[in-house]
Chain A
Amino acid sequence: MNPNDWDECFLLHQRSYGETSVIADVFTKSFGKISIIARGAKKPKSKFFGYLSPFCKLKITCSGRSELKTLTNIDRDFSLSTDNFSKTSYSLLYINELLSKLLPKNAIHEELFDLYEQFLEKVKHDDLELSLRSFELDMLEMLGYGIDFESDIDNDDPIRKESQYRFISERGFRKSDQGELSGKEIFDIRDRNLDQVPRGSLKRITKEAILLCLDGRELASRDIFRRLTQ
């Protein structure tokens, strides 16, 4: 990483290091998820003070050859990020937790970076739940955990619009008369016409698919979300 090259990134998580420094996990456009150390970032006179904040695009330069890079410069467009914390922000914290746990370090994911950027913009106006589901489905696909929307898992028959199907975790869709989704709804999920699909079923599908990727690790933000009165 060249210390003079500016890279765009989003902050996923930060933790204190020593008295005044911060170690942050950032999702950069050109290098994927990396860890950086911001020395002295908690001192009010530091040039990093007030900049390290999630949900807004940052521009950074880093130096160092080890896995932990040293933050050398940071910039951010403050005019775009005066939104206060709201209940929507809990969902954004959830997405950040997902990315923190699912993204491998130092693997470039430019497509996912763009998706995340669009998502942060979209949740401000669109239906929150559907935006979340759509992000989850796209993310799973980009990380290689995509769901097969084309064929029945038992016999590879193509999915038919008029039949009923049941979602089986880890595998895909199986034809079943008591199934909760019709073939048409499965195609709607594939084509991201999510408002045509029952929300409960949609949520169950993405939840199970994500649970599988997490390999048994828990998502703490879900627990917090459950305790919030809607």
Chain B
Amino acid sequence: MQTDLLNDLINSLTILPGVGKKSAQRMALYLLDKNKDGASLLSKTLQDAVETIGRCKRCRMLTSNEYCKVCSDTSRDNQSICVIENPSDMLAIESTGGFRGKYFVLLGRLSPIDGVGPEDLGIDQLLNLISKEDVKEIILATSSTVEGDATAIFIKDHIKDIKVSRISYGIPIGGELEYVDGNTIARAIQGRTEINVD
């Protein structure tokens, strides 16, 4: 029986988010027709990545080593841990350069209806980490939805004797009040800060 590799490749590419049959077809034809070197490199890198990338032992971020780049960086502040939902949140915070502590990735948020409970979020691993290291502050940076808040309160409830903070809600920089939704304005007023001019 003849194998239809081209068709297999097209079908495999459709597993990517946002890629349908038509785009997959275009990608496959481009790789095979126009850029064979690139295609070999892609397949090799993908194979290597799938085989070697796992979770960081400390923070559950994706990494090809035992510990991720942030966790093994000795110049970073060991005393504050920022708790986030997804690896992409770490990339978002890192790109701002505003945080010099370390992270912990939950890989989701508490959502009873979807059957996501505390065990799935590695909360025991987080508590274990806190008890072993000299942590002074936990920053809860889960999303500002009901599930994100439920997760934050749940974690806060299990941590004793350490400062636990929640990222603030407010007006986006460069935004005009008129166009901001009511809920955000209400939260921004509640969480207002004093102006300190040096």
Contact = CB atoms under 8 A, between A and B. Distances in A.
Interface size class of B (residues with CB under 8 A): 20 to 34
A194 to B, nearest CB: 25
A55 B117 contact: no
B113 A53 contact: no
Contacts of B154: 224, 227-228
Nearest to A79: B182
A97 to B, nearest CB: 5
Contacts of B183: 50, 53, 78, 81-82
Interface in B79-93: none
Given A50-B181, A78-B182, A94-B112, A223 B117 contact: yes
Interface string B179-193: 001111011001000
Interface in A155-179: none
A81 B187 CA distance: 11
A205 to B, nearest CB: 22
A89 B181 CA distance: 22
A220 B181 contact: no
Contacts of A227: 118, 154
B115 interface: yes
Interface string A49-85: 1110111000000000000000000000011011011
A93 B18 contact: no
A139 to B, nearest CB: 17
Contact of A228 (B114, B157, B187): B157
Name the residue in B113, B149, B154, B184 with the highest tally of chain A Cβ atoms < 10 Å from its Cβ.
B113
A229 B114 contact: no
Contacts of A78: 181-183, 186
Contacts of B110: 224
Interface of B: 17-18, 110, 112-118, 145-146, 149-150, 152-154, 157-158, 181-184, 186-187, 190
22 contacts: A12-B113, A19-B17, A19-B18, A50-B184, A53-B183, A78-B186, A81-B183, A82-B183, A82-B186, A84-B190, A85-B153, A87-B153, A89-B149, A89-B153, A93-B150, A96-B113, A100-B113, A101-B113, A220-B112, A220-B113, A220-B115, A224-B118
